[in-house]
Amino acid sequence: AQTVTQSQPEMSVQEAETVTLSCTYDTSENNYYLFWYKQPPSRQMILVIRQEAYKQQNATENRFSVNFQKAAKSFSLKISDSQLGDTAMYFCAFINSNSGYALNFGKGTSLLVTP
Amino acid sequence: NAGVTQTPKFQVLKTGQSMTLQCAQDMNHEYMSWYRQDPGMGLRLIHYSVGAGITDQGEVPNGYNVSRSTTEDFPLRLLSAAPSQTSVYFCASSNRAPGAFFGQGTRLTVV
């Protein structure tokens, strides 16, 4: 079974600071994709960043970057220069090629950015 | 380009009623899926489809039916609603790896 674990139910960070959200996963596959999704209070699911397992270089999207450790099956998200608009639920997800490329999600981390 | 469109956005049902949540995508994606989101549980896969005429069960399929007669549409049917099906439902579509595109969700309350 493929599982995704987010061990931090809630986190808080001050505006302009840096925060790291943790995610671990378990899979027997060698080639796969990992994602971080953001869900603001509007409940829209927004893709933040993705990582392809065969790429050693960590993905970066503006203030968002990942630390992908394939051997450790770890996929953390770093948010730099946090902004109030970053307040949201963040979900780590693993693409499941055995289920029509649907996603396995972690339970989420609620991030609060304070002034 | 509308992306993934879900209707309705909100719905209240009485126990035992049936209804269909609609999902349509205009990106010619092969893969479509339905999830439910409950507090503290993340999103869990209900059913998925890998193309027209092909569907399969996900993690929590009981009480739900799906069909995929066209590439664009993937409706989710609740045959006899139960309070345990109170949740937020998301439809998503993708073409394999790039990452799924989500609809805006349907908040369903069963009383």
Residue by residue, DSSP assigns A19-65 as EEE--EEE-S-SS-EEEEEEE-TT---EEEEEEETT--SPPEETTEE
Q: Which of B69, B62, B26, B70 is nearest to B46 (CA)?
A: B62
Tens-digit pLDDT profile for residues A20-53: 999 999 988 877 889 999 999 999 999 999 998 8
Burial B90-109 (b: 16+ CB within 10 A, else e): bbbbbeeeebbbbbbbbebe
Q: How confident is the model at residue B98 (pLDDT cuts 50, 70, 90)?
A: low
Q: Is A52 on the interface with B (CB under 8 A)?
A: yes
Contact B99 A52 (CB under 8 A): no
Residues of A in contact with B96 (CB under 8 A): 101
Residues of A in contact with B100 (CB under 8 A): 47, 101-103
Closest to B105 (Cβ–Cβ): which among A43, A47, A102? A43
Chain A to chain B Cβ contacts (< 8 Å): 65
Q: How confident is the model at residue B1 (pLDDT cuts 50, 70, 90)?
A: low
Contact B105 A103 (CB under 8 A): no
Q: Is A105 on the interface with B (CB under 8 A)?
A: yes
CB-based contacts of A17, cutoff 8 Å, min separation 6: A82
Interatomic CA distance for residues A9 and B13, integer angstroms = 31
- Decide if pLDDT at A98 tops 80: no
Contact A100 B104 (CB under 8 A): no
Tens-digit pLDDT profile for residues B30-78: 999 999 999 888 899 999 999 999 999 999 999 999 999 999 999 999 9
